[in-house]
C-alpha cells in the first residue's frame, strides 16, 4: 500500500452507523474515496453530507450474494486502479442462553457475520488484486475469549478469524494482505444496539425459560452494559483501526482498546481451566449483583 500519488480507495460494509460510520468518515478525512453498505436511505444521506460527498453508501443485504456481487461490480466501475482497503465490518449480535436461542437466529448471525463476509471478500478480490490492497476484518476479543450469553457472536467471530487466516495464506502471492482487528468494549456506537439486542432476547424468553435464566440474564445484562459504557469510544476505535489498516508491514491481527489488550494477554497465558473459572466468575458476579 504505497499509492500515495493516486487517490486511495476503500469499501466498508456496515458503514451506515456506529464503528463503520466512524471508519468511513475517518478515511474520508484522510483523502480516501469511500464506498460502503447501509440499511436505510437516512444513513446514505447522512454520510454523504457528513463527508462532503466523499462517502457513497448503498443499501445492500450482505446475506444476498447476488446483491453483494452487484454492489462490487458497481463500485468496480468507478475504480481506476483497484481497491486499496476493504473493511469487512457488517455484523449482528444474537445474545441469550444457548439453550433458548432459536437455531434459525444463530444461523442468521452466521449468514451475516461469516457468509456475508465471505461473499464480500470474494466479490472484491479482483479489485484488491489489481491494487495489491488489504482486507481488514472486524472481529472481537470474544473470538479468543467466548463470553457467556453471547455464544453465537463469539462463535461467528472465531469462524471469521479462521477464514481470515486462510485468506491471508491463499492471497499472499497476489500481494493482498489480510488483517484481523479485535476490538474490546466500546462506549459509543455499539452499546445501544447491544442493549436493545439483550433486551429483546429477554423479552422473547418463555415463562419456563425466564424461570431458568431470566434473573441471571438480567443481572448479566446490567454488568455487560456497564462494561461497554467504560470502553473505548467508537471514534477512537475507528482511528486505531485505520492506523492498523495502513501499518507497514501489515499485522496479522491487532487488539483495539486497553481492555482488549489485557484480555488477550490473559488468554495467552491461561489454561482452559483458568479461563473457565473467569467465565464462571462472570456468572457468579452477576448472580451476586456485583
**pLDDT tens-place string over residues 239-250:** 999 999 999 999
CATH number of the structural domain spanning residue 281: 3.40.50.720
Residue 74 has what pLDDT? 98
Residue 107 within any structural domain of the chain: yes
CB 153 within 8 A of CB 106: no
In a domain, 218, yes or no: yes
User: Counting beta carbons within 10 angstroms of the beta carbon of residue 69, is it exposed (0 to 12), middle (13 to 18) or buried (19 or more)?
Assistant: middle
d(CA 159, CA 174): 23
Cα–Cα distance between 37 and 58 in angstroms, integer? 5
Query: How much is the pLDDT for 190?
Result: 62
The answer as to whether 53 is a domain residue is yes
**Residue-range definition of the domain harbouring residue 50:** 9-287
Task: Give the C-alpha separation, 265 to 260, whole Å.
Answer: 8
Whether 2 is covered by a domain: the verdict is: no
pLDDT < 50: residue spans in the chain: 1, 5
Total Cβ atoms within 10 A of residue 250: 18
**Any idea of the CA torsion for 213, 98, 201, 192, to the nearest 10 degrees?**
110
pLDDT, position 225: 86
Name the percent of the chain in helix, strand, coil, to the closest 5.
Answer: 55, 15, 30
pLDDT at 231: 87
Number of domains in the chain: 1
Residue 4 located in a structural domain: no
Please give the DSSP secondary-structure letter assigned to residue 91: -
Distance CA 191, CA 203 (A): 18
Cα distances from 42 to residues 48, 59, 60, in angstroms, run: 10, 10, 14
Closest CA to 222 of 175, 281, 282, 177: 282
**pLDDT score recorded for residue 226:** 86
Is residue 64 domain-resident? yes
Do the domain assignments include residue 268? yes
Q: Would you say residue 1 lies in a domain?
A: no
Cα distance between residue 92 and residue 112, in whole Å: 7
Amino acid at each position: 500500500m504505497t499509492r500515495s500519488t493516486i487517490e486511495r480507495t476503500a469499501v466498508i460494509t456496515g458503514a451506515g452507523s456506529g464503528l463503520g460510520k466512524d471508519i468511513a468518515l475517518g478515511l474520508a478525512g484522510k483523502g480516501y474515496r469511500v464506498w460502503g453498505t447501509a440499511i436505510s436511505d437516512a444513513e446514505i444521506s447522512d454520510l454523504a453530507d457528513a463527508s462532503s460527498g466523499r462517502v457513497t453508501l448503498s443499501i445492500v443485504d450482505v446475506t444476498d450474494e447476488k446483491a453483494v456481487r452487484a454492489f462490487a461490480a458497481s463500485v468496480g466501475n468507478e475504480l481506476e486502479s483497484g481497491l486499496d482497503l476493504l473493511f469487512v465490518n457488517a455484523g449482528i449480535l444474537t445474545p441469550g442462553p444457548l439453550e433458548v436461542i432459536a437455531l434459525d437466529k444463530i444461523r442468521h448471525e452466521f449468514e451475516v457475520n461469516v457468509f456475508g463476509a465471505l461473499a464480500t471478500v470474494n466479490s472484491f478480490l479482483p479489485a484488491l488484486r489489481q491494487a495489491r490492497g488489504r482486507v481488514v476484518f472486524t472481529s472481537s476479543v470474544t473470538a479468543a475469549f467466548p463470553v457467556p450469553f453471547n455464544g453465537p457472536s463469539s462463535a461467528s467471530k472465531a469462524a471469521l478469524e479462521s477464514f481470515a487466516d486462510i485468506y491471508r495464506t491463499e492471497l499472499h502471492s497476489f500481494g493482498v494482505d489480510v488483517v484481523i482487528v479485535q476490538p474490546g468494549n466500546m462506549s459509543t456506537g455499539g452499546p445501544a444496539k447491544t442493549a436493545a439486542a439483550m433486551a429483546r432476547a429477554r423479552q422473547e424468553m418463555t415463562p419456563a425459560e425466564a424461570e431458568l435464566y431470566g434473573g441471571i440474564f438480567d443481572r448479566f445484562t446490567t454488568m455487560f452494559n456497564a462494561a461497554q459504557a467504560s470502553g473505548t469510544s467508537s471514534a477512537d476505535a475507528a482511528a486505531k483501526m485505520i492506523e492498523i489498516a495502513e501499518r507497514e508491514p501489515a499485522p496479522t491481527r491487532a487488539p483495539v482498546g486497553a481492555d482488549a489488550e489485557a484480555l488477550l494477554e490473559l488468554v495467552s497465558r491461561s489454561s482452559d481451566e483458568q479461563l473457565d473459572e473467569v467465565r464462571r466468575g462472570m456468572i457468579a458476579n452477576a448472580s451476586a449483583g456485583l
